[in-house]
Structure formats: structure tokens, C-alpha cells
Amino acid sequence: MECATEMLATRPRESVTVRAVAAAAEASTTAVYSLFGGKDGLIGAVRDRAVASLFQDLSAVQTSADPLADLYALAVAYRRWGCGHSHLYTVLFGGVQSFDPSGEVGASDPIRPLLAAIDRALTASVFTGDATSIALSIWATLHGLVTLELAGALDATTAEAAFRSSIHATLRGWTTAEVFHSLRQAELAQ
């Protein structure tokens, strides 16, 4: 799995073959076929591993009485996971990925903690808007920031500052007028 993950993250997908993965893992092609049923099964297993790992890290984020703080904590966990598991992140999110926000969310779907936090923010009248649109907005911002950071387009200081300001701005953009005004007043008082 490690060899396949690295190869899928660093090479064009079509160049990753069962033979190449087996050779890199010092195993036989028969072993790869026995364990995964072939290239598609191996790619599926790597993807499943990435999804499970991301879900585990996002699910570990504690909830509080402050939905905005919870959403920011989820963003931090997503970034930490992406930077700490760059090959899995690339396999999972590299290139163009489909995102069907109207699709059914599975029990172990990494989007579940985000949707739960958004629902809490909507219920508490902290956010206004459509949960799907909010989730897509937050995910697009996070994905862009982490992808730029992993690509080396941002140095560490710039990446941290961009993350903090962009996530706060994205979250603030979905708040109700009352909450937005309160947040702006708090910022100006600092």
C-alpha cells in the first residue's frame, strides 16, 4: 500500500501498474492480485485508506458551544492532516475531483463532521444560507490553501497567515448580519 500510495501521488496514474507496484514493494504481481484483485482494487484500497484516515482526524475534533470555533478547528485538522499525509492527500484530492454536495453522506465520510458543524451553526443562527453551499465554500477554500502549501507555492509564514485570514473570512462571510457585526467589532477592538 505504501508503494502504491507514493506512486499514485508522484506519477501519472496510467504509469502505475501492478507490475511496477509489486517490484517497488519487492512482492510478486500474484500477491497484489490476491490482495487487491488488480490495479483498480489497489487504487480503491489506497483511496479508502486516505478517506478513513482523514475521517478519523476530523472526527477527533472536539465540539464546543461555539460553532465558528468548531469549524475553524476542523479547518486546522484538515490542513494538519493534508500536510502530514501529503501523499494520501494527493491521491485523494490531486487533480480534478468530483464533488457532489447533494449526494448521500456515508457514516465514515470526511465531510460528515463539517456538515454537522455547519448544521449547528445554522441551528444557532450563527450562519445563514444553504448548508451545501456553505460546505462547498469552506471545502474549496481549504482545498486551495492546502494544495498551494503542499505545492510549495507558499512559504511557512505566508501559508499560516493566508490560512488564518482566509478561513476566518470564509466563515465570517456565512454569518448572520448580527454575528458578522459582532465579529467585526471584536476585530476592531483588538
Angstrom distances, CA of residue 85 to CA of 51, 131, 172, 181: 11, 28, 28, 38
| pTM of the predicted model as reported, rounded to 2 decimal places | 0.83
The residue type found at 26 is E
Note down pLDDT in tens along the chain; length 190 residues: 888 888 887 777 777 888 888 888 888 889 888 888 988 888 888 888 888 899 899 999 999 999 999 999 999 999 999 999 988 888 888 754 444 545 555 566 788 899 999 999 999 999 999 999 999 999 999 999 999 999 999 999 999 999 999 999 999 999 999 998 888 787 778 7
Alpha-carbon gap, residue 47 to 94, rounded angstroms:
11
CB 118 within 8 A of CB 75: no
Indicate the burial class of 40 (C-beta count within 10 angstroms; 0-12, 13-18, 19 or more): exposed
Cell output for 174? 456565512
- First-last CA distance in the chain: 49
Strands (E), the chain: none
